[in-house]
Amino acid sequence: MDKFRMIFQFLQSNQESFMNGICGIMALASAQMYSAFDFNCPCLPHYNLAYGLGILLVPPFILFLLGFVLNNNVSMLAEEWRRPRGQRGKDPAVLRYMFCSMAQRAMIAPVVWVSVTLLDGKCFTCAFCTSVPVGTLGNASHPGLSQGEMKRVLARIPCKEIYDGQELIANEVAIRYLRCISQALGWCFVLLMTMLAFLVRSLRPCFTQAAFLKSRYWSHYIDIERKLFDETCAEHARSFAKVCIQQFFEGMSTDLAAARCQLPRKAPADVGEAAEKLLGITDQGTMNTALKSWHRCKPPLHLHPPALPTGNGWAGEEQPPKHPPVPRREMAAYYSRV
C-alpha cells in the first residue's frame, strides 16, 4: 500500500506531466484503434454518407469526452463554477483558462483520429463515392442507366467484389481520385491544427500577458487549495478515527478494570497529539457544518499579515537620536573636577 501511495502522490505532484502523458497515450491508442478497426462500407446509396461521416466524426467526439473524463480537474472546474459566491468572488477569466487548458489536452486524440482517417481515405471514399464526376473521369454517355441506377452503381465503388460499373468508370480511377482528395484534406487539417495550436500556445501570452499570468496563477491556486484541503480533511479524519477508537477501548478497559478491580491503563501520548490535530472539531455535526461552510462561503482571498514588532525601528519607525560617544580625556577631566 505504501508503494501505491507514493506512486499516487508522485502523480498528484506531477499532474501536468501525467496528463500530457495520458493525452499522448490516448493519441497513440486512437491511431492503433483505427488501424485495428474493420472498416466495412455498406455500399448503398442511402447509407454510405452516414456510415462514412459517422466513422469520421463519432469516435473523435467520444475520445474528446473521454479526455475530459480522465482529467482530474473537471470536478474542480465544475465545483468552482457552481459554488456560491459567498465571501469570495468568481473570476470568469480563470474558469475560461481552466476549461481551455483541459480542452486543449482533450482534443489531441480526436485530432489524431481525424487526421489518420482522412490520410487513409477509406471513410471519405465510402462517404462521397456517389459524387464522383463521371463526366470527367468516366463514360457519362453510358446508355441505359437512369440517375438512380447510376447512384447505385457508384455506391459500390468501395466494394471491389461487387462493383459492376467498369464500363461507366474504372474502380481504380474513382478510388484514386477520392483518396487523393481525402489525403489533401487530411494534410490541410493537420496544418490547420498545428497553426492553431501554435497561435494558442505561443501568441496568446504575448498579447494578454497580464491577464494570462493572472488566470494561470489563480488556476494553480484553486488546484493547490483543493489538494491541501483534501489532505487536511484526510489528516483530520485519521485523527478523529484514532481518538474515537482509543476512547472506545478506554471505555472497554475501564469496564473490565472495574469488574476485576484493576486500575485502567493510561492513554498513549500519540492520542493526545491526535486530539490536538482535531482543532476543536470533535463531533459529526460540527464537522458537517464546517464542510458546508467551506462549500457555501469560502474564506476571502485577503490575508492579514502579523503586526510588525514596534520600538526597534521596523516598518520605517523612527528611532530616538543617538548621542555621539564622549571621548575618554574629557570624561577624565570631568571626574577630576568633580
Q: Which residues contact 182 (CB under 8 A, 6 or more apart)?
A: 118, 119, 120, 121, 123, 124, 125
Chain segment 185-231, per-residue pLDDT in tens: 999 999 999 999 888 878 776 767 777 788 888 888 888 888 888 88
- Grid coordinates representing 203? 501568441
pTM reported for the whole predicted model: 0.68
Locus of grid cell 474558469: 95
Chain segment 7-57, per-residue pLDDT in tens: 445 445 455 555 566 666 767 777 777 777 778 889 998 899 999 999 999
Q: pLDDT grade, residue 331 (50/70/90)?
A: very low
Q: Which of 308, 301, 287, 232 is nearest to 86 (CA)?
A: 301
Enter the DSSP assignment of 199.
Answer: I
User: What is the amino acid identity at position 48?
Assistant: N
DSSP assignment string, 287-318: HHHHHHHHHHSPPPS---PPPPPSSSSGGGPP
Q: Which residues contact 239 (CB under 8 A, 6 or more apart)?
A: 274, 275, 277, 278
Q: What is the pLDDT of residue 334?
A: 46
Q: Which residues contact 317 (CB under 8 A, 6 or more apart)?
A: 310, 311
Residue boundaries of the structural domains of the chain:
19-208
69 compared with 38, residue with greater pLDDT: 69
Q: What is the pLDDT of residue 185?
A: 96
Q: Which residues contact 23 (CB under 8 A, 6 or more apart)?
A: 67, 105, 106, 108, 109
